[in-house]
Structures are given as C-alpha cells and as structure tokens.
Structure 1
Amino acid sequence: MTESPKAAMADPAEIERALARVKAARQAIVSELRKVIVGQDDPIDQVLVAMFAGGHCMIQGPPGTAKTLLATCVAQVMDLSFKRIQFTPDLMPSDISGTEILEEDQTTGRRMLRFAKGPVFSNIVMADEINRTPPKTQAALLEVMQERQVTLGGRTYPLPEPFYVIATQISLEQEGTYPLPEAQQDRFMLTISMNYLPERSEAQVVRRSTGAEAVELQKVIGATDLLAFAQAVRQVTLPPALSRYVVDLVASSRPTVPGCPDFVKEYVAWGAGLRASQNIALAAKSAAAQDGRSTVEPQHIRKAIVPVMRHRIGLSFRAEVDHVSVEDVIRRLTQACPEPPSH
C-alpha cells in the first residue's frame, strides 16, 4: 500500500483547483492514448486510476491485446523513464535490482565495489510475463514495490519518484508458469483485464497498424505532476457510510468470518485482506478526482471493486468443479452487500 504523501493541502479552493488539473490531465492523456490504443477504454481508465493514486497494476489477457503497448504509450505520454524486464525461468534477482561489481582504480590500484543499478531504477518498470520466473526472483520485486527502494550490501538505494510496476501475466494453464505468492499479488493495487477486441475495433487496428502513417504521441504531464496528483487524490473525501460499506464488502469475502454468505464458505478458500479495503477506497478517490469531484460517490466505489478484488480472492476446488469464477463471486458479494443510498 502506498504511503500517504507528507505534504497536505487544507485550503478547499486549492483542492478544487488541484482536482480540476487532475481532470484536465486525465482527459488529455486519454485523448493521446486513443491515437494508438483502440477499443480498450476500461483498461486505460483503470491504469490511470492506479497511477494517479501512486499504485502498481497487473494486466492480464491473451497475447495481442496491447498490454505492452499500453504501458509503453503511458510512459511516453507522461514523459517517464521506462524499462521492460522479460521474466524468464533463468532470470536472477540481481538482473532486476542490480548487483555489486568489483572494480580496480587504474591510478591507485585500489579495488572497490560499485553498485550497478538494475532496470528497476526507472519510473515505470514493466514486468512482462511475471509468472514465467521462479518465486525467488519474483520476491525481488517485493521490496521495490512496497518500500520503493533496493537494499544491497547493507546500503539502501532509493528508486526514482514516482515509481510504478506494471506487470503482465500469462495464463496459469500454460506450462512453465509459477503462480505469484499471495503476498506479492497483494502489492498490486489493481488487476486489469484486457480481452480480444470486437470485430469493428480489430479491423480498425489492422488498418492503422499496416498503414504508412506514423502516430506521434505528445507529452501531456511529467513526474512532478503525478506526484502532485497522488497528493490531490488523498484530499478527496470518503463519506463514512461508503467506508463502512467497503469494509463490510471485503470482510464478507472471508470464509472464516462469522456471518459470511454461504456461497463464500463453499467457493472461497481465502478472502481479501485489509489492503483490499484500502485500495478500493484509494481507487475510488482516484476515480472521483479524475471526474473533478472532491467527494467519493457510489459509482466510484463500483468501478474499483472488481479490479481491486479479483486477485485477492482464492477459489476453492468446489468453485473449479462448478465453473465459478472470481468475477462470479465478486458479483454475488455486491448483491449480498447492498451499497448505502446516495444522498
């Protein structure tokens, strides 16, 4: 979970101006991304929700659905440094975070260790096919995602700000995959689903990608803007009734909690934890800020529930037998926990 920025704005007028800048930036970014990304409006919105809140995201989907393209285009439009790591079975932790190299001073002959920074020292790190590599290497991302730093040889090296991990994951049914540990899945604010395009949108992609016209993306914002946006997002108000609803909804996903629905006891092996509640609230605040609103409304919570919870609920064997998906469980949870009336 991203820690709250140290600075805080108290002036309501200043907050309104900051939210207006967030809304305008979001509209400009989406306009630029649509020059290249076709028919994936929901994934674009969800990536921006995570990034404006300072969170990491996982993108899932079949090959050829613009997962990598979305990450690279976001980096261009936001003028951020970008590194892509192709996760493979032989990838080592030092290939991610960096390593110490023994060097000799040519003038004095003295030997010393120099830290060679790995690809995580970038604003956006794309962890491509993250479940292709063994757990030992996956764990190298744990510290950088949570603490935003690398520790090696007793020294700590801070990562550039802002820092985001955008990971892609291939189908677990394929050979040579290693499921992500629960602790690492929990570090991702959202899991975003990118599916095949409708026929008309796919035809549009084919015409664009095989044509001679080159699309040039314009830079809309920079790193300092994103840091300011993350601060503005946290100034959005979450009404007490909605915060209680979020906590109740997440708690009802836990089969060990007394009073949880019967279908949860039947189909859920482990439910969502505290970070789910925190990230639903923060994602809803980010969505509200991008609408230019200073208070979270029920529709903002609704937009956050599925992408926040879909990787935080583990299904039982019975769910697999009955062909029940995580999305089915979440849908039934929202039906069992009615949201409070809007005022």
Structure 2
Amino acid sequence: MATSDFNIPFEHRKPFAKHYQQFIWPLCKKLEARRGPIVARQQARMAEIRPFTRLIWPMILLSFGSSALGFFGVLPTQWIFIGFGLAFVSMLGMAALAWWAGNELSSFMDEGIDKLYPRVLAYFGEDFVIKWGNEVAGRHRAYEDYGIFPKHDKSSCFSHLKGSHHGVPFEFFNVGFYEKKNDDKYELKFKGVLLAFSLKKAFKATTRVVRDGGFWLHLGQRGLDRVKLEDPRFEASFEVFASDQVEARYLLNPGMMERFIELDSHFGQGLEACFKDNKLLIRLPTSRDFFTHFQDHEKPIDFKEPIEEIFADLGFIFGIADELAIARHTGL
C-alpha cells in the first residue's frame, strides 16, 4: 500500500511510509482478508431478519394503539398494560435480531481499532500509549482543582493517550461531564478534550485563560487579577487572569497565543486553559470521538482516514509542547 496520497505533513511522509509498510499494512491485509466474508455474512443476516422486522413494526404500533384504546375506554382497562407489554417484548425482539445481524461486524471493527491505533501511535514514540473505557476511568479527575472543569455531578473518560514531544510529556483525555436532573437521570453538559502538559519545574503562580465572559466571569476568578495582553485577536476571544502578571505575560508570549488560537480553531472553539504547579491543562469542547474511528466497512482496509486525523490532531498538540519546550530552555 502506497502512503504517498496520505494527507500528512511532508516531513513525515518518507519515515511514516516505512513504519506503515512494516507495522500497519501487514495487519491491514490480515483484517482485509476477513472483512469481506464478515460483511457478506452481516448482509445475509440483515436479509434474513428483514421479513421479521416488517412484521414487528406493525405489532409495535398495534400494541401502542391497543394501550391507547384501553386508556380511553374503547377496550377494557387491562389492555393498557397488555399493549405496553406486547410493545416492550416486540422491541426486545427487534433489538435481539439487530444484535444477531451486526454483532460479528461490530466486534471485528472494535478489534481493528484496538490493534491499529497503537501501531500508528508507536510511530511517534515508544512512550505513546492509548487506552479506552474502564482502563482510564477517573484519571482526568486529578485536574479538578485547576478551575476550568464545567459544572457537573459526574464525569466519564472515553479514551486516554499519553506520550511526549521534545521532552514535554502530555496526556490526552476524551471526556464527558454530566449534570443530574430532577428525575435522577444525567444530562451531558460538556463533551470534549482535556490536554495536560507537564514540566519538570513548577510555575510560580496560577494563570488562567478563559472565554470572554463579562462581569460574572471576573467574579469567578478569586485571587487572580486581569492580565492585559497586546494581541487583539487573542483578546477578542479570551480573558487572562493570573496571580503573577509578569509570569503570565512570559507564558502567554506571541508564540503561545498563536498556538492557542490555532488549537481553538481546529477543535471547534471554546478553549480554556490553566497554568498551575508544573502543568498546563487545556479544555476543548468538541462533539468528536477520538481514537474510535475505524473506517467505512464497505471499503478495503488501509486505515487512511484515522491516520490523517491522528497527524492533524497531534500536530496542534505538538505545537503547544514546542512552545513549552522553548520556555523551559529559556528559563522556565
């Protein structure tokens, strides 16, 4: 498989082509040999269940209709419960048939995700480790006191990547924050990314970068003073509060402000950040899911689209790491 048509930075095309041919393409070929038969079986099963689904949908409608007639007294009252019961059983049957038809393909795609993403990320370094689900639950909560988490009653971490760039370790969390409603159910209030960069030396003060939010935002930044910067594009979107004006201006130099603007634009706007202790934490709202995209199961497997997404996303993350590396070498 040639990688010359992959939309990745020019300087990576030759070295990544070698990595791809050695570590990724052989696995793609093995998965591709299985894909065709699995898709064919899935399509055959869908054809087998189609007559049943055509019967089940009218049954569901008739069941709800019977419940309605029972409620309005046209049928005996017990039909309210009989109708709902029949509808529930019918929907369970529909779900079971759908699971039977699609489970093999779904498991196959999950297997591809589990195996291919680590091989792609290994190109960037041996310390790049990706994990999903229960393996990473709760790790992001270590940054709760950085002051940029949205208001929430519970939170989840869907995927977690750790690695480093130019000696700057970082973590990538794909997270969701939820608020509890009156009916004891939880509503998703924020979905997005948390980026945590680490430095060996701690910052002297706390510096927060938040959205331009007016009077009420100022009240929420207790112990921090407003910092005026000289970049009108940056100031149009963000406000900066810090406990040390000098350090804040040093950290938010023209290069870092430009990186923040680029990162904000790439992920969909909504960036907030906090420099505290020896960490930089960045919050980015986005509806995207990360490290869970396989590809269209109807197409031959080459993993092209996920690879291009990885290079694009990591390029912006590496830009922040580069600025922190420069700050470290110049006195931070």
TM interval, shorter chain, is under 0.3
Which of 1 and 2 has greater Rg? Answer: 2
Select the structure with the greater relative contact order (CA < 8 A; seq sep ≥ 6).
1
| TM-score scaled by length of structure 1 | 0.24
| TM-score scaled by length of structure 2 | 0.25
